[in-house]
Structure 1
Amino acid sequence: MKVVVDEDKCVAAGQCVSAAADVFDQREEDGIVVLLEESPPADVADDVRTAAAMCPALAIRIQE
């Protein structure tokens, strides 16, 4: 699994951090998504998929 984020699409809702805090964070100054782990381990794959599905701006893509 590879995770790709589009910071330009991000609306700083924070749903990704709620779903997968080991993989996503937010910048302090504006809340835009920060990708912590481009290739997360298999044990958090479901959380990452949930984060992508919950993103209101569709700023997270997953490449299997």
Structure 2
Amino acid sequence: MKVIVDLQACQGYACCMMEAPAVFDLDESAGKAIVLEETPSDELRTQVEAAARVCPARAITVENG
């Protein structure tokens, strides 16, 4: 699995951080999400998919691979 954040779309709501704190953080100065684990383990799949689902800006893409 690969996680991608569209920084053009990201509005810095930090919902992703709340759902998957091991994978996402927030760049306070830019006000955008940061992907800490671009290829997280499958054990985090449920959290990552939830983060993508709850993102109000729809800025998170999860690719299988």
Normalization by structure 2: what TM-score? 0.93
- After superposing on structure 2, the runs of 4+ consecutive aligned residues of structure 1 that deviate more than 6 Å are none
Gapped regions of structure 1 (runs ≥ 5): none
RMSD, aligned CA: 0.8
* C-alpha distance after superposition, 1:16-64 (max 9, x if no partner): 0000000000002132100111100111110000000000011000111
- The residue number in structure 2 matching 1:2 is 2
Query: What percent of counterpart residues are identical?
Result: 39
What's the TM-score, normalizing by structure 1?
Answer: 0.94
- Asked if the contact 1:14/1:31 (under 8 Å) is kept, the reply is no
Stretches of structure 2 lacking an aligned partner (at least 5 in a row): none
